[in-house]
A and B are shown apart, each in its own frame.
Chain A
């Protein structure tokens, strides 16, 4: 089996998942008032699921551009660690090729790519094929959701306005890997909810989120 074929065979559950997350993203973006072009443009050039959901919510609530870009940076800063871990495996590739590989770096591509390289392979086409197909699936799901999302009338009555908050809840629950994650998430939920009830801005909510991981550091230091 060629590396590209192996990427398809091993990656297909993640491709499906990408389509199925792209659909609700497209729906909530349309509900937030974005056009199909605007919704799709974000998937085409930002290509980062959790950050795009956050952008939609912040755009909807009228947060200013600086807060939105800062939030995206904080959510995506984890890529720095993933790219650093990938670096030794792609060191021999040319700079333009490495810049191309960077564009398709996602949590999923990192997980599968690192797995491939750790099995002793040095061929880059496994990672490249996986990342490119995942990008296509994410954009197909987005377009599908954006098209469906425009047709929903009276969103409040059908609870569709709640879709974005439900997405956040699901992203967190599915993303929890250990107890420290759950504690950090709970702290962030409670502090942000309290701040919001007290009338705080979107920026304050993001800052509360950025401070919550310090709890994880404190827990770790105490148990260490």
Chain B
């Protein structure tokens, strides 16, 4: 039940961010500093989640495999600019590094 209420609330707040400026005329203009902040926000939050996942996967501080796998995902993402390939590269690297005992 909590799951569905959470998803519904997430859908509503998302829709509000998309519809508010189209539904009503908002007064004035966003100050440039606010624009820059909102612009950088998504990447910062996703990066924070990445950092937390690399440092402590599954409630255990990493043995090094996750750091190596994250670097592999980073390299593939920078090279191919493709999320699916980067995820596959990261997963394969994690499996390989763990098999190697890290």
Contact = CB atoms under 8 A, between A and B. Distances in A.
Interface in B33-70: 33, 35-58, 61, 66, 69-70
B72 to A, nearest CB: 8
Nearest to B32: A220
B7 A90 contact: no
A23 B51 contact: no
A23 B84 contact: yes
A33 to B, nearest CB: 10
B83 A20 contact: yes
Contacts of A38: 3, 7
A50 B42 contact: yes
Nearest to B99: A157
Interface in A77-110: 77-81, 83-84, 86-87, 90, 95, 98-99, 101-103, 105
Contacts of A143: none
A72 B13 contact: yes
Nearest to A57: B49
A74 B70 contact: no
Q: From DSSP, what is the main secondary structure of chain B's interface residues?
A: helix
A24 B46 contact: no
Contact of B36 (A194, A205, A220): A220
Interface stretch (A1-9, A132-140, A183-191): A183-191
Interface string B1-22: 0111111111101110111111
A197 B55 contact: yes
Contacts of B9: 65, 69
Contacts of B94: 159, 161-162, 166
B54 A193 contact: yes
Interface string A150-173: 000000111111111111111111
B87 A167 contact: yes
Given A45-B11, A72-B10, A87-B22, A191 B51 contact: yes
Given A159-B91, A188-B51, A193-B54, A206 B45 contact: yes
A21 to B, nearest CB: 5
B48 A212 contact: yes
25 contacts: A34-B3, A45-B7, A48-B14, A65-B2, A73-B17, A74-B45, A75-B45, A77-B17, A87-B25, A102-B19, A157-B95, A162-B94, A163-B87, A169-B77, A170-B73, A171-B46, A172-B47, A174-B77, A184-B40, A186-B47, A188-B45, A192-B52, A206-B45, A213-B37, A216-B36
Interface of B: 2-11, 13-15, 17-23, 25-26, 30, 33, 35-58, 61, 66, 69-70, 73-74, 76-78, 81-84, 86-87, 89-96, 98
